[in-house]
Amino acid sequence: MKLVLFCFLLGVFPGWNETRGATFAPITLYTQYEQAPPEGVQEALQAEVESIMAHIGLHFEWRDLAKTAGHEVSAELAVVSFKGRCDTVGLVGHTKFEGALGWTHVSDGQILPFTDVACDRVREFLQAGLLTFPVEDREEKYGRALGRVLAHELYHIFANTMHHGSVGVAKESYSVLDLLSDDFQFQAKETRMLQTSRPKPAVETTAGTM
């Protein structure tokens, strides 16, 4: 079974002290796609992120970055960029992989709320597996796999950690089976980290007023 290295996260970071409240406000996810995805892929992707995160207590509002006015205020947010083609047309029966399936940006040891999901790489990694499903099911299976990659990256951002788990959504590398299996969840330790981490500060202005 081939494995693929998951993220590029560098450096160390200071821990947060405060914790999330018992009721979590929805987190806003701003999305942008290099190529518009089929509706079936996008719906399955969002449904999987929500399914994985809902029992942890995290909920999301999805917004198209291109249609955002620029004056919106969110308590917590992340910006997600989907790279390459996110469809299931023209799959071929061999597996290819060329690096990380997703990655989250880090600067000066701080995890930033910017993450990328490599649609092309997930597609090429899974395509032999996707071909074993009936054609009408492939968008759903592929979208669900993209959702798992995104859930992993959101874990880094909202648990504010570079830690990886040994099993489940937080592990460092995924197999084809992880991405295509019927059930894939966070383990208890990472669930607790997501529940007890402090909310990210709102985006700060950079103008010096001190």
- Give the footprint of Zn ion on this chain (CB under 5 A): 6-7
Sheet holding 60-64, edge to edge: 60-64, 27-33, 77-83, 110-118, 102-107
Give 36 or 189: the residue with its C-beta nearer to Zn ion.
189
As measured in angstroms, the least distance from the Cβ of 196 to Zn ion is 19
Identity of the residue, 91 or 150, whose beta carbon is nearer to Zn ion in the bound complex:
150
Nearer CB in complex with Zn ion: 119/150: 150
How far apart, in whole angstroms, are the C-alpha atoms of residue 87 and residue 146? 11
Q: Report which residue's Cβ sits closest to Zn ion.
A: 7
* Smallest separation (angstroms) from Zn ion to the CB of 163: 9
Q: Which of 57, 64, 73 is nearest to 32 (CA)?
A: 64
Nearer to Zn ion, 85 or 173 (CB): 173
Q: How far is the CB of 91 from Zn ion (least distance, A)?
A: 26
| Shortest distance (Å) from residue 99 CB to Zn ion | 13
Residue with smaller CB distance to Zn ion, 144 or 152: 152
CB of 131 to Zn ion, least distance (A): 27
